[in-house]
Amino acid sequence: MTPLRAVALAVLAVVAGVAPAAAHHTGVYAPKDNAISANFKQLKFSLQAGRFDVALRLYDEGALRAEMRARAAALPAGLEARTRAALAAHDAGEAERGLMLFFVALARDLAREADRRLAAGAAAAAVGPRFLEAIWRYYNLVDFAVGQRDPRASVAMRLAYDDAETLTRPAAAAPDPARLRASFGRIAQILSGLIDTTTTPQRRDS
């Protein structure tokens, strides 16, 4: 059993009776940053330090916002504007939710693209590892935030990812394209459901 799956199964066993933060896991491989993920980390550090002025500047000038605008049609309506408004209003929770939704959507779209390429006949041995690394680059950034809002989805995603990764590990036989497609489809389904359930801000007690 892989470390990722062991952690996920342990969390699944107790998720109904613990705080959402317990869904967080550590020790998992993190791919190298690109401009988007690096910009997110800068934003996150600024928010944690309470430097909303810095966070807003990083958002306005960074690769993350540019990508949000470029992908607006595939994101929840108004997500980019709502995220910026939250930063301007010093609402760290709402800003975090907007950023989480963006990266979840990126990971979902990568899973869908992997499925399309496999359906078109691309080699599973090439598509699988490449797209799984890209998916994890983005999803891993917000897994903790996902776990705080929907711990079951966080566990389900990590299990689905681990299953897909297992299919692509070096072995005597090449990965089964049909099984790998099913795994990417499951990842996309989980992330789509997460977007649906977390797009609307939770009402706060007055």
Q: What is the pLDDT of residue 171?
A: 67
Three-state SS for 35-49 is HHHHHHHHHHHHHHC
Q: What is the pLDDT of residue 18?
A: 33
Helix axis angle for 35-48 and 124-149, nearest 10°, is 10
pLDDT per position as a tens digit, 94-138: 999 999 999 999 999 999 999 999 999 999 999 999 999 999 999
Where do we find the tokens 């959402």? 20
Closest by alpha carbon to 113, among 12, 195, 184, 42? 184
Where do we find the tokens 């709402």? 94
Q: How confident is the model at residue 9 (pLDDT cuts 50, 70, 90)?
A: very low
Q: What is the pLDDT of residue 33?
A: 80
DSSP state, residue 72: G
Mean local confidence (pLDDT), 159-181: 87
Mean local confidence (pLDDT), 73-90: 96
pLDDT per position as a tens digit, 30-74: 667 899 999 999 999 999 999 999 999 999 999 999 999 999 999
Q: What is the pLDDT of residue 2?
A: 52
pTM over 0.85? The answer is: no
Instruction: Tell me the pLDDT of the chain averaged across its residues.
Output: 85
